């Protein structure tokens, strides 16, 4: 089996006082083994909610309305409590944007690493320390110093590298990285992505990266899913997508990314703002912002169709076989 994770027709709703939001709307996505898959989209597009579903940590008032998530062919949404505990960390681990909040401020890093592993396995403390040192070394931190340190003694970038080491402690099959460098300066971001790519290659690790920044995605991911208003509007190999975007929103994101185009004066951001999920535009949710929108776009939602090998796009232009200008 080539795919570690297969998400099928997943919908997640949040019942709010003001109405029901569909944060994830009929999403299907494959996460191939040993590859970096990215989800890119504006904040509120549903990336984090989708990722939380892979850990089955959707919190109230959110509910999984329909769909399945298979890991190694097993539907994890049907796991019992015991199996689910194993699933989190040991099968799938997650690195969040706000690392400093995830670390316990009154415990040394080494103690926290030992505690995390002991909660899931019967390894001895010596074995855990050896493993922790190895992983800290991997993320280019000095183990002897870091294991004894308290979180406040570390910079933001160091804490984020500690969190990456943490996420690898139980040899997970999938590591989810949710905006892993967003709170950090650009040089630190670059450094962390170098480390992540190195770890990915050496461990042959399957990763899911969530980012609002398509230039980050371009640099790191093998495959990209573009999310808009809870839907995946385009999926493809990173290289092919940047070469030839099939969906106007993808094309807009690429044009707006400063580091991808050589000529900065060509950059233009997508007009308008992300839609209100409580009051979505009719038809294609992107139509108020789309320069190609027609009457059909306002009336009818485009279907996701195959637009090449491993490529899917949901736009009326694609249905008619038309190209983006």
Closest residue (Cβ) to Mg ion? Answer: 48
Pick between residue 187 and residue 323 the one whose CB is nearest to ligand SF4.
323
Q: Cβ 268 to ligand SF4, closest distance in Å?
A: 16
Residue span 99-138 as binding mask against ligand SF4, x where in contact by CB under 6 A, dash where not: ----------------------------------------
Q: Which is nearer to ligand SF4, 114 or 290 (CB)?
A: 290
Using CB under 5 A, pick the residue from 3, 37, 48, 181 that binds Mg ion. Answer: 48
Q: Which residues, 6+ apart, have CB-to-CB distance to 29 below 8 Å? A: 5, 6, 7, 37, 39, 50, 225, 232, 235
Report which secondary-structure segment, H or E, holds 325: none
Looking at beta carbons only, is 51 or 92 nearer to Mg ion? 51
- Residue written as token pair 């892979």: 54
Contact code string over 246-285 relative to ligand SF4, x by CB under 6 A: -xx-----------------------------------x-
Q: How far is the CB of 321 from ligand SF4 (least distance, A)?
A: 13
What's the angle, vertex CA 308, arms to CA 304 and CA 311, rounded to 5?
50
Query: Is 302 a residue that touches ligand SF4 (CB under 6 A)?
Result: yes
Q: How many residues bind ligand SF4 (CB under 6 A)?
A: 13
* Pair of tokens at residue 221: 């991911």
Angle, in degrees to the nearest 10, between helices 109-118 and 125-138: 120
For residue 324, CA distances in Å to 237, 289, 303, 316, 318 come to: 18, 15, 17, 11, 9
For position 317 contacting ligand SF4 by CB under 6 A, the verdict is: yes
Number of Cβ atoms within 10 Å of the Cβ of 36: 24
Does position 287 interact with ligand SF4 (CB under 6 A)? The reply is yes
Cα 175 from Cα 169, distance rounded (Å) = 11
Site for ligand SF4 contains 230 (CB under 6 A) = no
- Residue 36 tokens, joined: 């970096």
Supply the minimum distance, in Å, between the C-beta of residue 207 and Mg ion: 16
How many residues of this chain bind Mg ion (CB under 5 A)?
1
Determine the Cα–Cα distance for residues 86 and 225; give it in Å rounded to an integer: 28
Residues interacting with ligand SF4, by CB under 6 A?
A: 247-248, 284, 286-287, 290, 292-293, 297, 302, 315-317
């Amino acid at each position: 089996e080539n795919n570690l994770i297969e998400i099928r027709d997943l919908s997640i709703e949040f019942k709010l006082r003001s109405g029901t939001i569909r944060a994830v709307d009929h999403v299907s996505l494959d996460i191939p083994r040993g590859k970096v898959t990215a989800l890119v989209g504006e904040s509120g597009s549903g990336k984090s909610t989708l990722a939380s579903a892979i850990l089955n940590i959707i919190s109230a008032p959110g509910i999984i309305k329909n769909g399945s998530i298979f890991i190694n062919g097993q539907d994890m949404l049907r796991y019992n409590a015991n199996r689910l505990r194993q699933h989190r960390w040991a099968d799938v681990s997650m690195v969040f944007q706000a690392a400093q909040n995830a670390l316990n401020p009154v415990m040394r890093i080494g103690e926290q690493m030992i505690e995390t592993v002991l909660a899931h396995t019967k390894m001895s403390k010596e074995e855990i320390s050896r493993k922790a040192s190895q992983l800290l070394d991997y993320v280019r931190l000095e183990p002897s110093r870091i294991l004894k340190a308290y979180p406040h003694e570390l910079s933001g970038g160091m804490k984020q590298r500690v969190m990456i080491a943490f996420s690898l402690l139980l040899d997970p099959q999938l590591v989810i990285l949710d905006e892993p460098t967003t709170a950090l300066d650009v040089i630190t971001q670059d450094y962390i992505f170098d480390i992540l790519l190195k770890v990915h290659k050496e461990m042959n690790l399957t990763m899911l990266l969530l980012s609002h920044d398509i230039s980050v995605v371009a640099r790191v991911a093998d495959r990209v899913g573009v999310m808009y208003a809870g839907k995946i509007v385009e999926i493809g190999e990173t290289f092919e997508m940047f070469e030839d975007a099939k969906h106007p929103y993808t094309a807009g994101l690429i044009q707006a990314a400063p580091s991808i185009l050589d000529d900065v004066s060509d950059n233009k951001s997508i007009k308008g703002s992300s839609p209100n999920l409580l009051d979505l535009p009719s038809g294609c949710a992107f139509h108020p912002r789309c320069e190609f929108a027609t009457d059909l776009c306002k009336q009818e939602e485009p279907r996701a169709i195959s637009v090449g090998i491993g490529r899917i796009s949901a736009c009326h232009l694609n249905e008619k076989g038309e190209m983006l200008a």
